[in-house]
Amino acid sequence: MSKVLVLNGSPHKNGCTATALQEVILTLNQEGIETELLQIGGQALRGCSACGFCMKNGRCVFDDLVNEAAPKLEEADGLLIGSPVYYGSPNGAVLSFLDRLFYSTPFSKHMKVGAAVVSCRRGGNTASFDVLNKYFTISGMPVASSTYWNQVHGFTAEDVRKDLEGLQTMRNLGRNMAFMIRAIADAKEKYGLPLEESDHFTSFPDGK
Ligand SMILES: Cc1cc2nc3c(=O)[nH]c(=O)nc-3n(C[C@H](O)[C@H](O)[C@H](O)COP(=O)(O)O)c2cc1C
């Protein structure tokens, strides 16, 4: 059975972000996709220290939820990230977690389907959405989209339940994500994964 790893970056386990995520989760489940939810927000998560430990050891030097999530991401066919907006960006816990998760894991994320969901009271959703999508697009992960940018508005879960278009966007996202996961699984069988070149790592224009 295909599986999506879901990360709730909000410290509120049953808040606005969780309400949006639950709508996607429900739809994914209805479409026959299994989900596993990890609560990221509210955890003491530090940022990447750029120590290079992971380059040699294939895991983060800080042995916390990031290393617990890594094998779950490796086996998943998709990743769904939810974050509240803090000062126009995804919140700090989400960014610390994702920097370390994506940087420290040596396995390929190629063709795992990614989707981000954001929640704000008034503004900053699209900027935060853009930030989260960049983790996918640097990793060869196709991004599932919906009928609007994947956002809800609210200060409480109750507000989000009244954001009917936001919830509709979440359900459409879930269906599109499920479709992409199934289509990619079929395409892998038929064509195999596309080649990913990785010979070059050019930091300066002269290639040194
Ligand atoms: C530190 C902090 C910063 C916030 N910054 C913004 C912001 O820039 N724009 C906004 O519309 N809401 C902002 N909010 C409100 C939350 O993003 C919003 O209420 C969100 O839907 C809460 O989601 P949650 O219930 O999943 O935590 C902020 C909240 C906090 C705690």
Residues within a 6 A CB radius of ligand 1: 10, 12, 15-18, 84-88, 119-124, 154-155
pLDDT for 208? 58
- pTM of the predicted model over 0.85: yes
pLDDT at 171: 98
As a three-state string, the secondary structure of 33-44 is CEEEEEECCCCC
pLDDT tens string, the chain, 208 residues long: the values are 999 999 999 999 999 999 999 999 999 999 999 999 999 999 999 999 999 999 999 999 999 999 999 999 999 999 999 999 999 999 999 999 999 999 999 999 999 999 999 999 999 999 999 999 999 999 999 999 999 999 999 999 999 999 999 999 999 999 999 999 999 999 999 999 999 999 998 887 765 5
Q: What is the pLDDT of residue 204?
A: 77
> What DSSP character marks residue 138?
T
* Cα–Cα distance for residue pair 123/153, rounded to 1 Å: 9
Residue nearest to atom 29 of ligand 1 (CA): 86
Specify the pLDDT at position 207.
57
Q: Which residue has the CA at smallest separation from atom 18 of ligand 1?
A: 120
pLDDT at 203: 85
| DSSP β-ladder status, 78-86 and 89-90 | antiparallel
Cα separations in angstroms, 44 against 11, 24, 97 = 11, 26, 10
CA 90 remoteness from chain centre: 12
Q: Which amino acid is at 149?
A: W
Closest CA to 43 of 8, 15, 16, 19: 8
Pick from 120, 102, 169: nearest CA to 10:
120
